[in-house]
Each structure stands twice: as C-alpha cells, then as structure tokens.
Structure 1
Amino acid sequence: MAALLTLDACLSQALSGTTAVVPDRLDPVRATGHVLASDLTLPHDLPVRSEALRTGIAVASLDTVGASPQLPLPIPAVLRVQAGCDLPPGMDAVLALDDVDLSGPVPQVIRPIGPGEGMRRAGHDGRAEQPLAQAGDRLGALTALLAAEAGLETVPVRRPRVRIALDDPAHAGFAARWTLALGGLPSDDAPNMVLRTDRDALPRLALTGAETAWLSCHDGVLILDLPPRFDAMIVGLLALGRPALAALTGSTARPLTRPLTRKVASAPGMADLVLLAAHGDGWRPGAPGLITLAALAQAQAFAILPPDSEGLPAGAPLAGTPVISLAHEIP
C-alpha cells in the first residue's frame, strides 16, 4: 500500500506545466461542443435596427391616433414591410394590412396603433457586450445559434486532440464519444493526449478499483493508461482523464452540491470514487469504489473521497461533478 501514489500526487506531477491548447477559430456550427477560449459577447445591439415582427404597413403611431372605420385617417405613404425587415426611419409601429383602406386614391388608417406594436426595437434581443457564454464553457447548440444570429462568423474554442488506443473496440468507441462530450477531438494527428490500454498490470495508484490506471506526461503529450476492465476504465477516465482534459481545454468544473440521502462508508488509505444519482433534492450515493453497470445507468454525477476519509453521514453536503455522456443530465 505504501508504494501506491495518491491520486493528487499523480495528477500534480503529470499536469505540472500543462497549459491549455492554442484555440482555433471556427464557425459556430463546427465549434459546437468544444470549450470556449474567451468570453462570448454580443458584438453589437441585436437587432441592429428596429425591425418588423409581421408583414404590414410601417407607420408613425402618432399618425393613427383617433382612427376608426367611421373616421379613417389618411397617411402620407404606404410603406409595406415584411416580417424581419428593417423599419423605415421615423416609423415606430406596423399595422396589419387589414387596418389600412387602400380602396381609394389616398390610403387611410382605420385603426389606431400604439408605439412599438408589430415591431421590435433595436437592442430588444440584447445589447452590445452582453455575455452569451463564459470562457471555459462548452459551446452548446443554443449558444451557437445565438452567436450565428448575432453575426459572429467565428468563435475561439480549444480542441485538444486525443488519440484513442484502447484494445477493446467498445471501450475505444465509448472513449471517443466521452472525449467529444468534454470538448476534445479524437484524432491520431499530433495528439495532445493518448488514451491507451495498460498492459503492465502494475498497481501504482491509490485509487480503489483502478490501481493500475496512470497519468504521465512524455514530451508534452499526456499519456493515460487505463485498465482493460470496463469499470476500472471508467474510474480512470473520471479520476484522471477528466482533469487532464480540463487542463488542455481550459474548462472549469462546476460541481453541484447536494446533501447525501444516506451515509457513505470509506476505508482510509485509498481514494474512492462514488457514483451519485439525483434523488429529490439530494444525492443517492453508490458504494464507494464499486462501479456496476446498474449504477452507471443511473449515475448523474460522481465524487472522489480522499484517502484520509472514513466516509460521510447522511445529510452531509457533497459536491458532485456531472458524469457527462455516461447517463442523464442533472435535473
């Protein structure tokens, strides 16, 4: 036991000097799913100019005060607009086509309209420099749409390249999807990180269930050795792979703290990974260090109990890190 290195020590020596990869500038669609290298803000007011919300006649609302079918009011000109079009200068409302009588030589309004009706003012959807997402966030599909709507042609994202070299094809496929879910890019081209199957079977890490997992750095490339069994592979990915990818992407973990619904017992000397399932307002913990298929199917987060921990009582707060791509979103 004394020969095993603690999880913190392994991470510290492997990630010492590791910096986030140089960002790429990609269009919002291609950037989706990757980690933002800088804050994303609106480049200008949105919309830039007041625009029509419906097809109709653009008018100055003051010109329609008192109008009715019995007392129609003439308007200077018929300014037809389509939904989404900019309003002509001086116009602050859009009448429906049925509210303008075009049968005579002079167009007449037969219904009054208030300022702002049928249109959207400049800056209604957002003001210049208003934040859309923070550096370290993964760019989601909705934020990518907002960026495109705001006219951002490219956004800066970090995409560390990860070579997947696991012996089991099912494990390799899972690891590739897991990498993508955390903002990485599976690639054999000049990888920043390599996931490979451990063949030495040498216990080195004081982490229950994944003693042969290991993270190291060689010539600037992070090497993650994962045990061949699925449960130990999962523990290695979560305990070592996730912080390694976070260092390469510049992402920030945002754990969610909830009270435990039951106590957790842990034996000192080894770090234990605990799977957590949301249950009401709390976390329902699995058995420390025990990863089963059934538990993985229900897991929404995980926590790592340090080697000096003897467990936690029911009701104790515990910060759970989302288990991205393994199960469900945290409600």
Structure 2
Amino acid sequence: MNSLTPLATCLSAALNGVLPVPTQSVVPGLAVGGVLAGDVVLPHDMPPVSEALRAGVAVAALDLVGASPGAPVPLSDPVAVVPGAALPPGTDAVLPEDGIERWGAMAEAMRPLSSGDGARRAGHDGRAGAVLVQAETRLTARHAFAARQAGVQNVTIRRPRVAVQLDDPTQADFVAAWLADLGAELGTERPDLTLRRTPNHAPRLALGPAETAWLARDAAGLVLDLPARFDGMVAALYALALPALARLSGASPRADGRPLARKVTSTVGLSELVLLQAEGDAWLPQPAGLVTLSALATAHAFAILPPESEGCAAGTPLAATPLDQPLG
C-alpha cells in the first residue's frame, strides 16, 4: 500500500496551477449544461409593466368602489384584455366577464375590486438588477427559460473541451453522456482534458477500486488514464475527472450531508469510493471500495473515504456528492 500514490497527492500535482477555461458568451438556450462564469441578472423589472392574469376588462379599482347589482358603475371605453396583456395606463385590476353587465354598447361593473385583482404588478417577478442565477451554477433548462423570458440576450459560461478515447463503445457512450450532462464539450482539437484507457495496468494510485487510474498534465492539457473494468472507470470518473472538470469549469462539487443508516468500514492507507442510497434522511452505504452495476443504478450519491479512515459508525454525518448534477 505504501508504494501507491495517495489520491490527494495525485490531484494536487495534476491540478496545481490549472485555471478555469476561457469564458464564452452564448444565448441561454445554447448554454444549458454549462457552468456560469458570471451572475445572470434581470435587465429590467419583470414584468416591465403591470399585466393581466385573466381575461376581462382593465379597470381602475378605485372607480368601482361600491359597485353592486343594485348600484352598477358604468364602464366608459372598457378595454378588453387577455392573460399576459399589458394593462392600459391608469388601470390596476381586471374585472372578469361575470362581473360585467352589458347593454348593447354599454357596460357596467356589478361588483368592486381591490387594486391588483386579476393583475400582476410591474416588478412582481423581480426587480432590475436582481440575480436570477448565481455564478458557478450549472445552467439548467429552467434557468435558460427564466433568462430568455426576462429578456437576457446572452450568458457567460465555461465549457471545458474533453476528448474521449475509449475502445469499449458502452463505456464510451456512458462517458460522453456523463460529460455532456456536466456541460463539457466533446472534441479532439486542443482538449482541456483527455480520457483514455490506461496504458499502464500496474496499481499506482491509492484509490479503491481504481488503483490503475492516473491523472496528470502534459503539454496539451490534463490526461486521465481510466481502468479497463467498469468499476474502476466509474470510481476514476468521480474521484479524478469530476475535480478536474470542476477546476476547468470554475465550479464546485455539490455536497449533501446526512447521517449514515449503518456503519461502513474502510481500509487504512487507501481512499475508497462509497456509493450511497438515500433512505429517508439518511445515507445507506454500499461497501467501501466496491462498485457493482446494481449499486450504481440505485445509488443517489457518492463519498470518498480518506486514507486515514477506518470507516464510519452508524449515525455519523457524511457529506456526499450527488451522482446527478454534481456540480453547481
């Protein structure tokens, strides 16, 4: 075990001095999956003017004080509106059709309204300058929709370029989908990170079950050697590729802290990946250093036990990284 390089040492040597990739300014729809390099802010009040929430007639609420079937209030030049329409100046509410009595070209209000009834005031959804999405957040489809709806033309993201050089098509497809979900761009031209099958099958990294994995830098960028077996490949992706992508994206891995539902043991001197399944408010751990297909399919998060750990007792709080959307 002493001949193996600690995980922290490997990561430090590979990532020391590595800076986030340059930013890109793109329309929100094309930025989904990327990590924001700057806050997304509202360019103006939303909505910019008061608008209708229902169909009816735009009115000034004060004009309808005391309106009733016995004492209707005439509506002069009523303006019909539909949901989303801007309210005309001087109006602040929408009177629905069931509150209106029509007599040919004449219309009367049969009931009063409060200011804002059936309407959304200017700035209700947010004020100009308010932060919609914070920097270092992974942009999702809902974030992009909110930005477009608010009139944001472009957002600034970081999108690392990653080359995948794996012979196994099943593993290559998984890795490509995993990278795309993290906002990375697949490409072989000047990649920031290259994922390849390891040329060295001798154990060299104190990481279970990925002892043959290795992360290093060369003249072109970061290179991650992935073990041939799927369990080692998965462990290397979470323990090595994810920190590398976080550094390149300028993001931070998310953390979800819960107590352990049962104890987990670990080998001293070895960092070990633990897959975790959410069970109520606790983590149900799989054996440390073991990745099975069934555990991978049902797990919700992972943690890496440090080499000085002998394990954790039941009830011990454990900070874990979600398997889905682990960044931002």
So what's the TM-score if we normalise by structure 1? 0.94
Secondary structure of the corresponding residue to residue 89 of structure 1: coil
Q: Taking structure 1 as reference, are residues 105 and 9 closer, same or farther at Cα in structure 2, changes over 3 Å only?
A: closer
Aligned-residue offset at 1:52: 1.1
Q: Taking structure 1 as reference, are residues 105 and 288 closer, same or farther at Cα in structure 2, changes over 3 Å only?
A: closer
Secondary structure of the corresponding residue to residue 10 of structure 1: helix
Q: Tell whether the 8 Å contact from 2:161 to 2:192 is kept in structure 1 after alignment.
A: yes
**Paired AA for residue 78 in structure 1:** P
Aligned-residue offset at 1:292: 0.9
Aligned-residue offset at 1:98: 4.0
Report Cα offsets for 1:172-200 as digits up to 9, x if no partner: 00000111122211222321111000122
Q: Taking structure 1 as reference, are residues 110 and 164 closer, same or farther at Cα in structure 2, changes over 3 Å only?
A: same
Secondary structure of the corresponding residue to residue 208 of structure 2: coil
Q: Which residue of 2 aligns with 1:194?
A: 194
Once the two structures are superposed, the pairs formed by residues 83-232 of structure 1 within 5 Å of their partners are 83-104=83-104, 106-232=106-232
Aligned-residue offset at 1:252: 1.1
Q: Which residue of 2 aligns with 1:2?
A: 2
Q: Tell whether the 8 Å contact from 1:178 to 1:324 is kept in structure 2 after alignment.
A: no
Secondary structure of the corresponding residue to residue 206 of structure 1: strand
Q: Taking structure 1 as reference, are residues 118 and 202 closer, same or farther at Cα in structure 2, changes over 3 Å only?
A: same
Are residues 1:27 and 2:43 paired? no
Of 270-279 and 93-102, deviating more is 93-102
Report Cα offsets for 1:94-128 as digits up to 9, x if no partner: 11234334425644322222211111100111122
Of 292-301 and 233-242, deviating more is 292-301
Q: Tell whether the 8 Å contact from 1:182 to 1:324 is kept in structure 2 after alignment.
A: no
**Paired AA for residue 126 in structure 2:** G
Q: Which residue of 2 aligns with 1:78?
A: 78
Aligned-residue offset at 1:312: 1.3
**Paired AA for residue 95 in structure 2:** L
Looking at structure 2, the residues matched to 220 and 37 of structure 1 have their Cα atoms a distance apart, in angstroms, of 23
Gap regions ≥5 residues in structure 2: none
Secondary structure of the corresponding residue to residue 207 of structure 1: strand
Gap regions ≥5 residues in structure 1: none
**Paired AA for residue 93 in structure 1:** A
State percent identity of aligned pairs: 51
Looking at structure 2, the residues matched to 75 and 324 of structure 1 have their Cα atoms a distance apart, in angstroms, of 56
Q: Taking structure 1 as reference, are residues 216 and 68 closer, same or farther at Cα in structure 2, changes over 3 Å only?
A: same
**Paired AA for residue 147 in structure 1:** A
Q: Which residue of 1 aligns with 2:253?
A: 253
Once the two structures are superposed, the pairs formed by residues 252-331 of structure 1 within 5 Å of their partners are 252-324=252-324
Q: Tell whether the 8 Å contact from 1:51 to 1:85 is kept in structure 2 after alignment.
A: yes
Of 35-44 and 153-162, deviating more is 35-44
Looking at structure 1, the residues matched to 190 and 220 of structure 2 have their Cα atoms a distance apart, in angstroms, of 11
Q: Tell whether the 8 Å contact from 2:190 to 2:220 is kept in structure 1 after alignment.
A: no
**Paired AA for residue 133 in structure 1:** V
Q: Tell whether the 8 Å contact from 1:50 to 1:122 is kept in structure 2 after alignment.
A: yes
Runs (4+) off by over 4 Å: none
Secondary structure of the corresponding residue to residue 236 of structure 1: helix
Report Cα offsets for 1:22-45 as digits up to 9, x if no partner: 121222221111111112222221
Report Cα offsets for 1:34-91 as digits up to 9, x if no partner: 1111122222211010011122211111111122233222233222222211111111
Q: Tell whether the 8 Å contact from 1:277 to 1:285 is kept in structure 2 after alignment.
A: yes
Secondary structure of the corresponding residue to residue 67 of structure 1: coil
Looking at structure 2, the residues matched to 280 and 101 of structure 1 have their Cα atoms a distance apart, in angstroms, of 56
Give the root-mean-square deviation of aligned CA atoms. 1.6
Looking at structure 2, the residues matched to 228 and 214 of structure 1 have their Cα atoms a distance apart, in angstroms, of 12
Looking at structure 2, the residues matched to 105 and 318 of structure 1 have their Cα atoms a distance apart, in angstroms, of 71
**Paired AA for residue 24 in structure 2:** D
Looking at structure 2, the residues matched to 83 and 297 of structure 1 have their Cα atoms a distance apart, in angstroms, of 44
Of 61-70 and 104-113, deviating more is 104-113
Looking at structure 2, the residues matched to 255 and 23 of structure 1 have their Cα atoms a distance apart, in angstroms, of 25
Q: Which residue of 1 aligns with 2:54?
A: 54
Q: Tell whether the 8 Å contact from 1:20 to 1:250 is kept in structure 2 after alignment.
A: yes
